[in-house]
Amino acid sequence: MRMVAEPVVDSDIAVNGAVPWQGLKIAFATFFVVACWGFSPTGIRIGLQAYDPGHLALLRFLIASVFMLLIASSQRITLPRLKDLPLLAVLGFFAVSLHHIALNFGQAGVSAGASSVLVQSTPLFTALLAHFVFKERVSAWRWGCVALGLMGAAIVVTGDRGIGHMDARGLLILAAAFSWSVYFSLQKRHSHRYDGLTMVCYTVWAGTVFLLVYLPGLIGEILNAPLRVNVAVGVLGLFPSALAYLAWAYVLKHMDVSRASMSLYLTPPMAIAIASVMLGELPSQRVIVGSIVVLASVLALNLRRERAVVFPVRDEPERAPV
């Protein structure tokens, strides 16, 4: 979400070499975000052991919606304007409903680590949308980054299970990244209408409404699911889907976005590490190579864009939470 960050004030600077508490808070919040979004692929993998992909998405965001309702009540966010309801519905559909349905169905056939890497291809699809839909000029550099990134994604998809056992559901993860890129492109053009927290709340609630089509049968799955699975789903709904957004807003408020965004490239390694410990999933060499290619292309795309900015408009970097 678009956050207008405040500059770090001089009082945050260490005195006599002491480490400022503000710096420690920012570092902790950044690590918290990376850990939350790094856990998400593993949490989805565990949730799919007892839940249908649609039911998993719905339960996750019912939990997130309740939590965001509590936050919104304490912060007294503004009511949406009637004319903005269609926009908020579209944002919720692409950011929550379509993104997480595609992600859940896709991850049923893709490892947690590979899924985390493929989701990071969102900026590549954003560049394609900018050219073909919004008629923006895309430089040769950005075209090169897009081509390199898609090549890396192909390496990850084919290398996750081996070419002979390639699962087409990996393409659904790319569809999830594309869905998020549609959301990001629209949100970036309309973020001036509401503050960041308000936009997050209404997006989550709107997306959850669309997911209610999966309500039949959910109660039965909740009652029959093992405790371990229900705990994992609860963690998914509370941490990656809600608390991580609030922590990220705090980071952006006190830190330059170009510096903060660099930390998000630690999310796939974190996801791979968590999956290896909790699920025993180790990435193949092809997945590691493809991961490096994807992340390098996205990093190059974002660094080039930061250099091209003349006025310091501080947008959230284009990445998709998983």
Residue 304 predicted with pLDDT over 90: no
Residue 255 lies in a domain: yes
202 Cβ contact partners less than 8 Å away, ≥ 6 residues apart? 80, 88, 91, 92, 194
Residue 145 predicted with pLDDT over 60: yes
Q: What is the DSSP letter of 110?
A: S
Residue 260 lies in a domain: yes
Residue 316 lies in a domain: no
- Give me the number of domains the chain comprises: 1
Residue 39 lies in a domain: yes
Domain that holds residue 273: 19-308
**What is the per-residue pLDDT across 223-282, written as a single tens digit (0 to 9) for each?**
999 999 999 999 999 999 999 888 887 887 777 765 776 777 788 889 999 999 999 988
Residue 66 lies in a domain: yes
Name the residue with higher pLDDT: 136 or 234: 234
What is the share, in percent, of the chain residues with pLDDT greater than 90? 41
In the predicted model, what is the mean pLDDT of residues 193-198? 84
Residue 14 lies in a domain: no
Q: Please name which of 71, 73, 40 lies closest in space to residue 278, comparing C-alpha atoms.
A: 40
Residue 6 lies in a domain: no
Q: Please name which of 163, 97, 106, 153 lies closest in space to residue 125, comparing C-alpha atoms.
A: 153
Kindly report the pTM of this predicted structure.
0.81
Residue 82 lies in a domain: yes
